[in-house]
């Protein structure tokens, strides 16, 4: 039996529960959401990019990166790197030394809790790179970006760095996670280049019901995402959970209404996009705003990113030259700016105090300076990620000599060329994966083309017309 008087078993239980909820957001949440969102030939690769990132981040985080984000002071934006795998270190009381904060649970709990946040940031970023990034380049990118980008933002805003000391509010990662992933996703997508033209034109999601499953896990998992950041099972944790759900519901409904007005029909994928932007926008503000503030943020996150995606995204040339596969820029970058700026406006004195902050609220409380602090924090995260994402991509391409983009053959075939596996093995949806001869020998050609294979010879079938894919440019809110 432990004699540690500092431990609160209720806090430890909640923190581990919250961490597990956040872990489920990535695996299986975003794994299946991404897999269902892309066309069928990219389902496995898209899921595996998320799955790999989750594991690679954990090893990197435990061996050196956790202490860059939450360790002893080295620079105003970084702690001293080092291992967090010693049993003595893991069993001792959790401490954020540069921030002068302690928690009533062990260091191991804090390491894991912060890991799941780091992991989901890389998984979100992957959403911009799907359907063409070389998997080997992704394997190198994950630990490098975690170290030189994510951990820097985490230390600066949470670990006691200069933005923390300035008083920038980021309750649970609006800047550290979402603004950074939105920036890195957009910049990295430019470096990698676009998908094949046929994949841009024929980009039907292969399983919208699977997307809804992933979206549901993401939404409910966010209770741990925002509810865990007070580091205690406090009243403010309850406020954060309630506000998270209020804002998310409002945002999704507003997005659907915008779709109805503009496109004359409600979109399930649009509702998911609105859900995501609501979750993103409430994240920097969750426990410091009132319930009415969560509603106002939901109005903003359901409409401003919608305009960004469906109006600006179609008309501005910048967005025509960067292939952001899942629109991560609009959902996470724009959504995070809505939430971060809204935090500066709507933060309350009572909410800040309940979270343990000394900030005298936001503009509604007469503290207009908080708006400017939020802008400064956003500019640092954006600038840092533009520079370091570019440096890392250039390092992989020019120093490691690893192509950022798949070969043309891999781009044409998809999963089977990269992994030797297909997402739906009961039917060969992608004829190029195994070749016409194989399909004819297996009697599959007729099934695929809607003909009776028994009624035609192999020669006739093999010389038949090629299947012409349906090419329909989806509206942006459904991409």
Please give the Cα distance from 395 to 388 (Å, whole number): 10
Give the model's confidence band at 469: pLDDT under 50 very low, under 70 low, under 90 confident, else very high.
Answer: very low
Q: Hey, how many other C-beta atoms are within 10 angstroms of the C-beta on 166?
A: 13
Sequence-ordered list of residues with C-beta below 8 angstroms from that of 328, at least 6 positions apart, any chain: 124, 125, 127, 128, 181, 182, 185, 186
Please give the Cα distance from 233 to 237 (Å, whole number): 6
Mean local confidence (pLDDT), 355-369: 95
Digit-coded pLDDT (tens) for 87-132? 999 999 999 999 999 999 999 999 999 999 999 999 999 999 999 9
Q: Is the pLDDT of residue 260 over 50?
A: yes
Mean local confidence (pLDDT), 68-93: 97
Residue 3 confidence (pLDDT): 72
Q: What is the largest CA-CA distance in the chain?
A: 81
Please give the Cα distance from 180 to 121 (Å, whole number): 8
Angle between helices 291-307 and 335-346 (to 10 degrees): 150
Give the model's confidence band at 420: pLDDT under 50 very low, under 70 low, under 90 confident, else very high.
Answer: confident
- 8 A C-beta contact, residue 196 and residue 411: yes
Residue 85 φ then ψ, to 5°? -120, 10
State pTM to two decimals: 0.88
Please give the Cα distance from 338 to 439 (Å, whole number): 51
The radius of gyration computed from the CA coordinates of the chain, to the nearest angstrom, equals: 23
Q: Hey, how many other C-beta atoms are within 10 angstroms of the C-beta on 238?
A: 14
* Residue 211: both structure tokens together: 């997307």
Mean local confidence (pLDDT), 183-204: 94
Digit-coded pLDDT (tens) for 281-340? 999 999 999 999 999 999 999 999 999 999 999 888 889 899 999 999 999 999 999 999
Please give the Cα distance from 357 to 289 (Å, whole number): 13
- 8 A C-beta contact, residue 153 and residue 352: no
Nearest 5°: the CA angle 34, 438, 432 is 40
Digit-coded pLDDT (tens) for 23-56? 999 999 999 999 999 999 999 999 999 999 999 9
Q: Is the pLDDT of residue 68 over 90?
A: yes
Instruction: Give the burial class of 248: count Cβ atoms within 10 A of its Cβ; 0-12 exposed, 13-18 middle, 19 or more buried.
Output: buried
Give the model's confidence band at 447: pLDDT under 50 very low, under 70 low, under 90 confident, else very high.
Answer: very low
Nearest to 21 by CA among 246, 276, 176, 216: 216
Instruction: Kindly list the structural domains of the chain, giving each domain's residue range(s) and its CATH number in brackets, ordered by start.
Output: 9-399 (1.10.3430.10), 435-466 (no CATH)
* Residue 372: both structure tokens together: 């400017």
Which residue shows structure tokens 């939020």? 374
Give the model's confidence band at 431: pLDDT under 50 very low, under 70 low, under 90 confident, else very high.
Answer: low
């Amino acid at each position: 039996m432990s004699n540690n008087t500092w431990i609160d078993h209720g806090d430890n239980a909640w923190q581990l529960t919250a961490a597990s909820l956040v872990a489920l957001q990535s695996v299986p949440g975003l794994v299946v959401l991404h897999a269902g969102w892309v066309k069928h030939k990219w389902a496995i690769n898209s899921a595996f990019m998320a799955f790999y990132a989750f594991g690679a981040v954990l090893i990197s985080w435990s061996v050196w990166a956790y202490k860059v984000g939450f360790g002893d002071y080295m620079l105003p934006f970084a702690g001293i790197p080092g291992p967090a795998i010693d049993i003595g270190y893991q069993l001792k009381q959790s401490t954020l030394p540069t921030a002068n904060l302690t928690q009533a649970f062990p260091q191991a709990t804090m390491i894991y809790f912060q890991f799941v946040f780091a992991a989901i940031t890389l998984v979100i970023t992957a959403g911009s790179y799907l359907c063409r990034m070389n998997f080997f380049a992704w394997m190198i990118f994950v630990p490098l970006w975690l170290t030189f980008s994510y951990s820097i933002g985490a230390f600066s805003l949470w670990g006691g760095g200069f933005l923390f000391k300035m008083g920038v509010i980021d309750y649970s990662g609006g800047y550290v996670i979402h603004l950074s992933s939105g920036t890195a996703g957009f910049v990295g997508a430019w470096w990698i280049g676009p998908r094949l033209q046929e994949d841009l034109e024929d980009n039907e999601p292969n399983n919208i019901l699977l997307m809804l499953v992933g979206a549901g896990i993401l939404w409910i998992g966010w209770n741990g995402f925002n509810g865990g950041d007070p580091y205690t099972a406090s009243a403010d944790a309850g406020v954060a959970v309630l506000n998270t759900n209020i804002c998310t519901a409002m945002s999704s409904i507003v997005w659907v209404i915008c779709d109805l007005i503009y496109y004359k029909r409600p979109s399930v994928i649009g509702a998911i996009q609105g859900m995501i932007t609501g979750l993103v926008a409430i994240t920097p503000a969750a426990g410091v705003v009132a319930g009415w503030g969560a509603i106002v943020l939901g109005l903003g996150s359901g409409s401003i990113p919608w305009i960004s995606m469906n109006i600006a995204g179609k008309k501005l040339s910048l967005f025509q030259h960067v292939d952001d596969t899942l629109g991560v820029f609009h959902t996470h970058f724009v959504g995070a700016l809505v939430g971060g700026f809204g935090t500066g406006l709507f933060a309350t004195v009572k909410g800040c105090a309940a979270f343990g902050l000394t900030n005298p609220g936001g503009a509604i409380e007469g503290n207009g300076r908080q708006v400017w602090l939020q802008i400064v924090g956003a500019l640092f995260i954006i600038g840092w990620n533009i520079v370091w994402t570019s440096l890392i991509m250039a390092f992989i391409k020019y120093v490691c000599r690893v192509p950022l983009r798949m070969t043309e053959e891999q781009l044409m075939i998809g999963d089977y060329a990269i992994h030797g596996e297909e997402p739906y093995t009961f039917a060969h949806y992608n004829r190029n994966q195994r070749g016409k001869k194989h399909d004819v020998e297996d009697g599959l050609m007729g099934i695929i083309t809607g003909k009776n294979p028994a009624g035609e010879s192999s020669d006739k079938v093999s010389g038949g017309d090629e299947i012409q894919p349906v090419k329909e440019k989806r509206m942006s809110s459904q991409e």
